[in-house]
Every structure is written in C-alpha cells, then in structure tokens.
Structure 1
Amino acid sequence: MSPKPSVVVLDYGSGNVHSAVRALERAGGQVELTQDVDAVLNADGLVVPGVGAFAAVMDSLNAIEAPRWIGRRIAGSRPVLGICVGHQVLFERGVEHGIAAEGMGQWPGEVTALPREVVVPHMGWNTVRPAEGSTLFRGLEDQRFYFVHSYAVQTWDFDQSISAMAPPQVTWSHHGADFIAAVENGPLSATQFHPEKSGDAGMQLLRNWITSL
C-alpha cells in the first residue's frame, strides 16, 4: 500500500482548524497541524485556513513569515490550498469597513463587501459554477457547498501575458452578485467556501485535491 500524502494545516492562530484537520484525514491525508518551517515546506500539500477579518489574518500570517513560505512552495510547484479567508488573502488586497489591507498578491483582485441588498453574512449552502476541466470539482458539477462570509472577490482580470502557465480555472457562485468561489492555478488552489463543512461534496473535493498531490 502506498503511503498517504503528507498534508500540513498551517497553524498560525486561526480558529476552527480542527474540523479541517479531521476532514483532510478522512479524505486520505497524513495530516499535521503545525507552523514548523521544514514541515510546511516539505509536505506534499499545505492547507492555509482562515477565519475572521482579512487584515487580522494577514497580520497573523506575516507574524510567522508564512507568505514567504507559501511563495516558496508555489515557486517550487508544491501544492497549496487556501480555505475561506485563506482563499481571500491570496488576492491583492481586502477592504473591510473602509480599511484596506494588502494581501499576498498571487492573483489580481480585491476582496470587498457583498451587496447590501442581500442578507450577510452569506451563510449556508449554495451552488457553484465549476470551471471547465476543474480538478477540484471533478464529479461535483451539480453539488452545493457551505459558505460563511460577508466579503468576496467579485471581479476577475488576470493578465495571461505575465504567466507561462495555463490560465487559472475560476469557479463562480452568486449571492447578490457573482463572486469567485474557487480558483485553481497550477500548484495553488483555494475555495471561498468551507469544504470541511460541506458534507459528502466537500469530502470528495478534498479527496480530489489530495489525490492530485
């Protein structure tokens, strides 16, 4: 029997990470919750969770130099999966309550408030429109996923001329406006929703990611 892929869930003080650890274990990973640099850099897969405000999550990540480690993994084509605010901070910046904070800038875009005309936070199950050829959503094209958020990236303007890789695969959802529900870009993937809270569909998505490591 081949060994299970090693997966590190980045431990930087984000709350509610143990459900992600358990889900990744059930999905077939050998999972460790840590901020040890060697483990973060050398694991088959790295998961960056996130709960709370964009600026606070970035402050916590910067405090342990996590953006540098994440950048090194991406440069070396080592898979990274962001979840919820861990998805949002991969974009250029976030604006909450009128305060802007810089993100990691892996993708263009700004995290802004969902429209006031709808109930926020956007909490509960919602459909998505998976990108064609998606690895994460293979076999999950008609499934619903669990969201908890008031902010999202609502536009996508990627300059393909700056990348030699294939264009990122962008999956959308809708709550008052279209917003990005997931991105797959070479070794870097992320979901605005919580796969670990999304029942069988979320479990299959995590399996799809783990089996791709």
Structure 2
Amino acid sequence: MPNHKITILDYGMCNLFSVVRAFERSGADVLVTDDPAQVRFADKLVVPGVGAFHDSMHEIKARGFDEAIKRFVDAGRPLFGICVGMQILFDASEEFGEHPGLGILPGQVQAVPKVSLSGEPLRVPHIGWNHLVAPQGRAWRGTMLQALEERSPAVYFVHSFVATPTREFDRLAECDYGGHMLCAAVQRENVMATQFHPERSGAVGLAVIKGFSVL
C-alpha cells in the first residue's frame, strides 16, 4: 500500500504523465492539482516543468501558484522541483532576456556553455545521459540522493539553461559537460530540485524519487 502522499502541480507546463507514473511506481499516493488552494494541504509538493523559464513563470503567476509555493516552503514542508521546475526556484533567468523567478533559492539561471574548456564546440541543448558527482565537501547521506552515494550514477538531461546557485553548499550534485561543472541538483533544508529528469532516468531516477518521497 502507498505509504507517502505526493501532490504534483499542474500549471500547464509539465510532462505530467511520466512524472505521475514514476511517483506511483515509487509507492506514492499521488494527487495532481491545478488549484493553488490545494497546496496548503499537501504533505510533499512536486513542481515539474518543461519549456521556457518565462512561459513557466507566467503560468505559475497567472494561476496563483507563486505565493502558494512560497507559503508551502516557508511552512518547512518538502518541495521537489524538476528541470524548469528547479530553475524557477531561483532569483532570475537570462533565457530570452532577464526574467524574475520565485526567489526561493539565491542564484541565476544561465545558458549552458557552447564551448568546452579545451575550446571544442559543445552541443546545446545538453541532451542525453551524464554522470552525477558530489561537489567537493558535499555528501549525499541523508538527502534525496542517499541511495546513490556509493555510485557515479548516470541520469537523463534535456536543457539549454542551468541554474548557478549563489551558495556553493546549495549544490547537491554536478555533472561534467566539456569541463564545465553544471549544477545537476540542489538541496537547501526542505527545498530540493534536479535539473535532470528522474522520471526518464530509469532505476536511478526512481531511487531519487523514492529518496524524496520518504524524507
């Protein structure tokens, strides 16, 4: 029987089917809602996202989810952002101009580098499998990545922009892309997020989802 309850936001910019299925496979009791009033009753909240930062923020605000998300975080309950759902947690993005985010995590969303540190061209968007590594001085024990602690796991990315946290310790995981260490996951107290798609990352992704669900 499901032993944890997950509320997933539907604000019109989400790949809901695969996200919902992944959480259900992890054993969660899933509720999908497009009503910001329901957020106050959530035990754990998931904010998925695909597409452009500005479009996602427009829908979040137009539907009244911006303040609902902030109040949820202020209450100390666990939140999990996925892909663009991670990016909108930050102060701002430079995608198609400067656009403000929710400001829950300090930092900026910037373009994925187009040239490696050795001067070779990089493919943008960054699409495909890449390995997670823990930043220096950061451990995964006690986090949503705890099950991956003894591995160098590969996960699936699709993105042209990436968040750069102001506080280094907010970085939970990174990936090497042409010598650039891109932020792949963050965690600060009850706020967690991944740039990669756990719902598309096979057994490793399900372990991440389970790790959040049982916190």
Kindly indicate whether the alpha-carbon contact (under 8 Å) linking 1:5 and 1:210 is maintained by their aligned counterparts in 2: yes
TM-score of the superposition, structure 1-length normalised?
Answer: 0.89
Equivalent of residue 160 in structure 2, options 150, 154, 157: 150
Equivalent residue of 1:55, what SS?
Answer: helix
Equivalent residue of 1:9, what SS?
Answer: strand
State the Cα distance separating 1:77 from its structure 2 match: 0.8
Equivalent of residue 175 in structure 2, options 173, 176, 179: 173
Equivalent of residue 133 in structure 1, options 118, 140, 153: 140
Equivalent residue of 1:96, what SS?
Answer: coil
**What are the residue-to-residue correspondences of 1:46-195 with 2, within 5 Å?**
46-97=45-96, 99-117=97-115, 118-130=122-134, 131-134=138-141, 135-141=143-149, 142-154=152-164, 156-158=165-167, 168=170, 170-176=172-178, 177-195=180-198
CA distance, structure 2, for counterparts of residue 170 and residue 37 of structure 1? 28
State the Cα distance separating 1:169 from its structure 2 match: 5.0
Equivalent residue of 1:129, what SS?
Answer: coil
Are 2:66 and 1:36 aligned? no
Kindly indicate whether the alpha-carbon contact (under 8 Å) linking 2:11 and 2:63 is maintained by their aligned counterparts in 1: yes
Unaligned runs of 5+ in 1: 160-166
CA distance, structure 1, for counterparts of residue 34 and residue 5 of structure 2? 14
Aligned amino acid, residue 185 of structure 1: R
Kindly indicate whether the alpha-carbon contact (under 8 Å) linking 1:87 and 1:192 is maintained by their aligned counterparts in 2: yes
Kindly indicate whether the alpha-carbon contact (under 8 Å) linking 1:196 and 1:203 is maintained by their aligned counterparts in 2: yes
1:7-38 residue CA offsets vs partner (Å, 9 max, x unmatched): 11101001421100000011111111112234
What is the identity percentage for the equivalent residue pairs of Structure 1 and Structure 2? 39
TM-score of the superposition, structure 2-length normalised?
Answer: 0.88
CA distance, structure 2, for counterparts of residue 211 and residue 84 of structure 1? 21
Equivalent of residue 199 in structure 2, options 196, 200, 212: 196
CA distance, structure 2, for counterparts of residue 140 and residue 12 of structure 1? 31
Aligned amino acid, residue 123 of structure 2: V
